[in-house]
A and B are shown apart, each in its own frame.
Chain A
């Protein structure tokens, strides 16, 4: 069995990344699982329509719920993808390029998601 010693972490960023994955993981365990069960087994994908969304988003708390879910899920996922890139690709060209693409996609999807949740009438 490995021993555990309290040494200084190699990188402060990676320590926060590790912590964020655990905290957001617990948040998503509740929020994402509830969202999935509600949409797929409560309401049903076949019943989802523009009117169904309008009815749900008439309640601002559902918009807030979806905003939190969007932030935690996408950030958790994007950080996971970043970790995979660090582990499977050598430092340099491709890894840098893919990380730039990932960052841009992350920003684009956050903006699109927030935009539609906030501005939908």
Chain B
């Protein structure tokens, strides 16, 4: 009997199908609205958090802003004993090391991602993808320790001396070798951001429709040309991955401070020389500092870091967008 009734309802429903279609969107709309309100409020929370962060950083850095004003940004001295603070050297250090890291990491991670998704046999690529994802999850202090105990001695003993003896005529590659320094920090940062960037890019390439590649090959394109098409197709995702990597490089504190040498100077004498970054000076001096102005100056550095991150991310978006448009070519709108 029950089955019968059920059967009947089914037929009725089938019979009045046009009515059902009419009712469905209305039912969906309430859920849609709730979901929309939910997602919008979550997005607003993000804005709120960033706003609150900027506000409290501003509050904390008020004594420093009142004392130094804009001179803080162009100041080149950092003397906690005499109470003189300027952030230009660390700003330059942050920008240089993250730019160098990105320069190394972008082609590297593109290569890793393409190898994993296009060139490697499936069996190997699964294992390697897993390893890459594992590397992306390693905490930065572990990278820092590895940098300090393994990478630094290796670079000092094996890599840097031949570079200096062959390229030493350039000021960039002259001067004393400590092991740590600008180049070491950039290399370590590049190693740190490559896994996350290549993991995202590999997923992007896996998601490109195979018809795209097949069509290109059917039209007589060689594999490299088909791959170029894929890069161009995944362009916006590559930008997102790059920006994620750059954000991590700019904000990285622990690993950088362990290998960069932490020397507060406007410009290093060479790529082997020690330097400093904004995040590193925060990680170093915030904890045990006692003097109010010193702490305020450090919070001011934090505020600048937030602002610079914002500016750099916007610029990076513009630059990478433009660059990929030129290289990609084929898929230009």
> Do chains A and B interact in one complex?
no
- A residues touching B (Cβ–Cβ < 8 Å)? none
- B residues touching A (Cβ–Cβ < 8 Å)? none
